Structure 1
Amino acid sequence: MKRQITLLISTLLLTFSIQASQFKVMVFSKTDGWHHQSINAGVTALEKMAKRHFFELEWQEDASHFNDKKLAEFDAVIFLNTTGNILNDEQQAAFEKFYKSGKGFVGIHSASDTEYDWDWYTKLVGRMFVIHPTNQTARLQVLDRKFPGTDTLPDSFLWTDEWYQFGPELSKNLHYILSVDESTYEPKADWGRVKGDGMGDFHPISWYQNYDGGRSFYTNLGHMREGWEDALLLKHLYGGIYWAATGKGMQ
């Protein structure tokens, strides 16, 4: 009898712990093309973040989990360095339905190099990847102090990463958070079939938007494994994840 009571208490405590977590996210890192070596470092860092900030996290690379029943478990989905065409038509429809119900999306780095032919998704991300030069150090500028996470960032700071040149805005709802100063690095790139000269005086690298019933946050950062050990990146990302999952945190 005593053992049964102990097991019952343990079960109740476990159930309470699960229910008491702030929110739950899926980290999705399937690739169909370039595979970033930093994915595992990103997953490890996000798992530590989940423990630190008391939310649940599930890592998936199997697209079959994009169905109504499974997605209903989550408050937001994080596309971590995804590339190429990663969801079929049925899975895309399930994700759209999930998001439009008032849920969140977080795109990290090459999430903007994903599903170019899925018009709804490209608008969800907001701007798509075009080309990038070699990894370089550049100066970043905080553009929006109202968004969660930016209050802990310096007004301007150096960061080393892979700087994407983005195409035009695909949504009119984008609110920019961070930009990179092209005068502090060499933005030109030539891949033969694609060439880039940078984006000029205004080169955004992170933004958010309310789009089609849900919340979308994107950041260019997260290419390099070493960056995932830096508190600045983690604070920036947690602000976006927290807002996407809950809608809270705006000043």
Structure 2
Amino acid sequence: MDKTVASAAEAVADIPDGASLAVGGFGLSGVPIAITRALLARGVGDLEVVSNNCGVDGWGLGELLAAGRIRKVTASYIGENKEFARQYLGGEVEVELTPQGTLAERLRAGGVGIPAFYTATGAGTAVSDGGMPLRYGPDGSVVKTSEPKETRAFPGDRPREYVLEHAIRTDYGLVRAAVGDRHGNLRFERSTRNFNPLAGMAGRITIAEVDRLVEPGEIDPDDVHLPGIYVDRVVVLSREESEDLPIEKVTVRRRTGAENEGGA
């Protein structure tokens, strides 16, 4: 039952070229950076990634992207990453844009064994009707578009159209947690909870990097955000790795008046 492994490199040693990955995080919050860098060091490529976004320039999934290791991204957001936008518009990477809530539910559905579900989100738009650009050519032309999705109207006080969305199940799930035990139970810190539990559920094999390792039973059952049944490997981060947390956007203001008293 002890799921700990000695290093991130050992944890990702069997991830092959062409693997599909569900990756937790949102912007720079809760990103499994040590695992990502271990993949980068191994030279694994042709990856298919499912994540809310693709990191930022030079950090997180952005590192794999800049090295040309990612073939396709399923995400809800391209912003904050100029290289991601450049590769998408230049035809170097395929991108399936999915509404954020729908993406979350597709990952959750994959984790709990629901093959598909209906949602009103995207009905009557390119999400349901098809034609959304998935890949551009080098000359800027659209060379691949999304297919139309099945829709259905359900009875009710206000009948409306719903879109059938398929669950997402990936070869691996990569997540970052604040605390984990040797059985793989995980607790995420505040906003780092974001897409991490969902990515962990969607992976057939899930690898978690944790800031702190505790013994089984030390995490209160009410504080377990992802049960160990979903987690296969646990990597304990060094202090330096845990503290490697850049700020995505620094916002400051000039101090005035009483705030400057006493040399503040």
Task: Considering fraction of residues, name the structure with more helix.
Answer: 1
* TM superposition score normalised by structure 1: 0.32
TM-score (norm 2): 0.31
